[in-house]
Amino acid sequence: MKRIEQIKNVVTPVDFSDNSKLIAESAVFMAGNFNAALVLLFVVQKFEDYSGFFVPQMSIPDFEQDLFTQAEDKMAAFAKELESFSQGKGISEVIGKVLVGDVAEQIVNFSGEQEGGLIAMGTHGYKGLEKIMFGSVADKVVKSATCPVLTINPYTCCNE
């Protein structure tokens, strides 16, 4: 693991669930304490991850592009909302980023490329069958990240 002198980027994976806002708001305070950038990250899973479950009516490249475009639109709105929330809290900037691939792998790879990176992520995302199929993203990230990881349980830390 590389030594970090100063946290410059707090990477916060989101899935646009109800918990994402709670996690991102907690990450705002973390980034503000370091006067760091908050990088919101969403990963669109590749279609192959779901190919055994359904067949889309459109071609696979069109389907994946449509998912990516929708994710970018959601990210822009999500980041704008967080930008308003983060005003006056010491954050240098709020950045929204959408990637494609394996969720845990992309989080780890992207965060590893960030200078002075810290991952602040929720402990709860997927539920039910998806969790059984894909496992815990947080668990995979904690075990393989090359930067510090802060996990946040949205059910105990963020509720009023």
Query: Does the domain spanning 9-152 belong to CATH 3.40.50.10440?
Result: no
Q: How far is CA 50 from CA 45, 53, 82, 154, in A?
A: 9, 6, 31, 27
Task: Give the pLDDT score at 121.
Answer: 92
Please report the pLDDT score of residue 52 as a whole number: 56
Quote the CA–CA distance of 145 and 143 in Å, as a whole number: 6
The pLDDT, as a whole number, for residue 144 is: 94
Per-domain residue ranges for the chain? 9-152
Check residue 132 and give its pLDDT: 43
Between CA 102 and CA 71 the distance in angstroms is 15
Q: Which residues of the chain have pLDDT under 70?
A: 1-5, 47-61, 124-135, 157-160
